[in-house]
Amino acid sequence: DTAVSQTPKYLVTQMGNDKSIKCEQNLGHDTMYWYKQDSKKFLKIMFSYNNKELIINETVPNRFSPKSPDKAHLNLHINSLELGDSAVYFCASSRDYSGGAETQYFGPGTRLLVL
Amino acid sequence: SQQGEEDPQALSIQEGENATMNCSYKTSINNLQWYRQNSGRGLVHLILIRSNEREKHSGRLRVTLDTSKKSSSLLITASRAADTASYFCATDPSGNTPLVFGKGTRLSVIA
């Protein structure tokens, strides 16, 4: 009965490959997010979807493309992976989008290593 | 640019002692949240304090907010080894903007 789940947990791949990370939440939330946490633990938002619609798109290379087939799922596809993409990617969800007024629930993270 | 800065970057204390972590931010906020991250895990929400609140409690946690100094503190009383984690503050700089996280304080509680 995991609230926010991500797959895979670990992803090791070669530079130039394309990979996807999947996220699902069973909390009935309307809003989902993708964050990137670098080696120094700095957590930065990448995207946010509210009811399957993109509402936040921070300055992220267009090699990263989120897709929300329904409001319980938000997947992240990354094309032409680069060394600098190595990081931990977290999915999160919140009841709705109210900026910082809503508690966010995080998934366990996907550790991506690009060789 | 980063909004919240936690201080200290790392803190090591003995079990039973109190731990205090501080967060300073640059612009006006509506809300400030504190999250905990255990090693290798996702973040877990601890407490949310609104800009018109000065103090909130939750169990052994006490959060204060001083909007005039643009700072917040998280106090964990009677710390336990299980409190070992990184603690992050997160703010919403203006209006309906996404949360901006600091770099966190790494707390080690030694049994």
Torsion (CA) A73, A80, A48, B22 in degrees, nearest 10:
120
- Ramachandran bin of B86, using left for φ above 0, alpha for ψ from -120 to 50, beta for the remaining angles: beta
Whether residue A42 is predicted with pLDDT greater than 80 in this model: the reply is yes
CB contacts, 8 Å: B101 with chain A: 42-44
Per-residue pLDDT of chain B (111 residues; tens, 9 = 90+): 456 788 899 999 999 999 999 999 998 899 999 999 999 999 999 999 999 999 999 999 999 999 999 999 999 999 999 999 999 999 987 666 788 898 899 999 999
Nearest by CB to A100, which of B33, B40, B104? B33
Residue A105: the pLDDT is: 96
CB contacts, 8 Å: B96 with chain A: 97-99
| Pairwise CA distance, residues B70 & B64, whole Å | 11
Provide the CB-side half-sphere exposure for B30 (13 A, CA): 14
Of A18, A6, A25, A12, nearest to A103 by C-alpha is A25
**Is B58 part of the contact surface with chain A (CB cutoff 8 Å)?**
no
Please write the tens of the pLDDT for every residue from A57-82: 888 899 999 999 999 999 999 999 99
- Work out the end-to-end distance of chain B between its first and last CA atoms, rounded to an integer number of angstroms: 37
Neighbours of A20 (CB within 10 A): 13
| C-beta of residue A44 within 8 angstroms of C-beta of residue A60 | no
**Is B10 part of the contact surface with chain A (CB cutoff 8 Å)?**
no
Candidates B35, B36, B43, partner chain A, best to mutate (most A CBs within 10 A): B43
Candidates B99, B101, B105, B107, partner chain A, best to mutate (most A CBs within 10 A): B99
Neighbours of A95 (CB within 10 A): 15
CB contacts, 8 Å: A108 with chain B: 41-42
Please write the tens of the pLDDT for every residue from B34-63: 999 999 999 999 999 999 999 999 999 999
| Pairwise CA distance, residues B101 & A42, whole Å | 7
Confidence grade of residue A52 (pLDDT, cut at 50, 70, 90) = confident
Distance of CA B104 to the CA centre of its chain: 8
